């Protein structure tokens, strides 16, 4: 295993040994190719550069204390990757080829899988873009798939301590009939102005509202939102948010812990009724929320006064992390051991 300061890794890019590539040409996918280069040679008229034909995924591999590397619900990422490709008219990357590439890239970089108990994980980034040349606005004829890995520490430097969020009222990340449900680069570009503005004001991230009415909660930066009250886990239903695999899983865990769950539009006004709130996604699992500030009304919604997460948030987090790390039985059948 690589000799790194695993406990203090940033959530950033680090060169590993290999990445894999695959090209779609003449209507079919070619063979997976292995390389140690971090660069690509790309046509100046590639649609990925001009018209945003680009989608990606993010998932993690975890080292168990039994020395086995586990993947969390990778088929869900593979399916979402196909869905995202369809959303912007790209050739979808087949699920079976995704599996092969995923397992191969982990095996080739096994020395970079962080040790059990370090809090760090191996982040896996598959991406797909139009690499064929076009000048008119149309889908490319050629696509490039790349998958690389990088060991990462926790996404939020604060770790599992509650963070403050700012409601964004002057930028829309995605619109109801737009691309918000697809994991495409354009959504992230559209969110940057708001995220940077929130950080400049000292907030951890920006909470996006629905673009149409500015009345309902959409997303928490690059993560889904949830609120908890009366033993009920409540998370937004919206046509402009990414269907988070972490959120899906937390809903299942909440049910198994005897909580009620609701997926429905969550009005901003309802924030005052929650006793706990958080953001969830692969990167942070859960980022508990201390305060949410609404600049339009000057209202501060507060969920933590003592820098600790609420009891149900802690329970949900501990259960999911224990399953991912292989510390508790995988009662939901979510984990796959990478042989
Ligand atoms: C916009 C957005 N919402 C939600 C999520 C969480 O999704 P997942 O739990 O599948 O990582 C992500 C990705 O992490 C995201 O980029």
Cβ 219 under 6 angstroms from ligand 1: yes
Cβ 283 under 6 angstroms from ligand 1: yes
Which is nearest to 70 in space by CA: 257, 329, 281, 247? 329
Give the pLDDT of residue 152: 95
- Residue 270's φ and ψ, nearest 5 degrees, are -70, -15
In this structure, the residue with its CA closest to atom 5 of ligand 1 is: 223
Shortest-distance atom of ligand 1 to CA 221: 1
Helices 245-256 + 74-87 axis angle, to 10: 140
Q: How far does the centroid of ligand 1 lie from the alpha carbon of residue 280, in Å?
A: 7
Give the pLDDT of residue 153: 86
Residues in the chain where the model's pLDDT stays below 70: 1, 154-159
Inter-CA distances, 124 with 149, 259, 261, 279, Å: 4, 32, 30, 21
Give the pLDDT of residue 8: 86
Which is nearest to 185 in space by CA: 39, 53, 82? 53
326: alpha, beta or left, given left = phi > 0 and alpha = psi -120 to 50? Answer: left
Q: How far does the centroid of ligand 1 lie from the alpha carbon of residue 35, in Å?
A: 28
Q: Beta strand 285-294 with 54-56: parallel, antiparallel or unpaired?
A: unpaired
In this structure, the residue with its CA closest to atom 1 of ligand 1 is: 222
Judge whether 55 and 88 are in contact, CB under 8 Å.
Answer: yes
Q: Please identify which of the residues 31, 89, 183, 201 carries the catalytic annotation.
A: 183
pTM over 0.85: yes
Give the pLDDT of residue 118: 87
Give the pLDDT of residue 157: 56
Within 10 angstroms of residue 167's Cβ, the number of other Cβ atoms is: 23
Instruction: Determine whether 212 is an active site residue.
Output: no
* 324 strand-pairing partners: none
Cβ 244 under 6 angstroms from ligand 1: yes
Tokens of 137: 């606005």
């Amino acid at each position: 295993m690589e000799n790194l300061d695993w406990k203090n890794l940033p959530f950033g890019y680090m060169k590993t040994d290999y990445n894999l590539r695959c090209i779609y040409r003449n209507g079919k996918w070619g063979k997976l190719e292995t390389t140690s280069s971090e660069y690509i040679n790309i046509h100046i008229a590639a649609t990925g550069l001009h018209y945003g034909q680009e989608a990606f995924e993010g998932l993690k591999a975890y080292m168990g204390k039994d020395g086995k590397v586990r993947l969390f619900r990778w088929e869900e990422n593979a399916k979402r990757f196909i869905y995202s490709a369809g959303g912007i008219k790209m050739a979808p990357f087949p699920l079976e080829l995704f599996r092969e590439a995923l397992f191969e890239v982990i095996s080739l970089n096994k020395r970079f899988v962080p040790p059990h108990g370090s809090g760090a994980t191996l982040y896996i980034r598959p991406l797909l873009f139009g690499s064929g040349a076009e000048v008119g606005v149309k889908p490319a004829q050629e696509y490039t798939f790349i998958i690389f890995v990088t060991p990462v520490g926790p996404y939020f430097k604060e770790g599992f301590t509650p963070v403050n969020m700012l409601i964004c009222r002057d930028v829309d990340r995605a619109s109801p009939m737009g691309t918000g449900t697809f994991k495409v680069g354009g959504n992230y570009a559209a969110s940057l102005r708001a995220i940077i503005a929130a950080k400049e004001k000292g907030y951890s991230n920006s909470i996006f509202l629905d673009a149409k009415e500015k009345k309902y909660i959409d997303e928490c930066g690059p993560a889904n939102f949830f609120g908890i009250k009366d033993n009920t886990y409540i998370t937004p239903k919206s046509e402009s948010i990414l269907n988070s695999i972490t959120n899906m899983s937390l809903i299942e865990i909440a049910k198994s812990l005897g909580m009620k769950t609701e997926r429905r539009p969550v009005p901003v006004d309802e924030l005052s009724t929650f006793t706990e709130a958080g953001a969830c996604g692969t990167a942070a699992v859960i980022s508990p929320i201390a305060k949410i500030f609404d600049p339009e009304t000057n209202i501060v919604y507060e969920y933590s006064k003592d820098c600790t997460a609420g009891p149900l948030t802690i329970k949900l987090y501990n259960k999911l992390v224990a399953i991912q790390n292989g510390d508790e039985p995988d009662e939901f059948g979510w984990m796959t051991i990478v042989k």
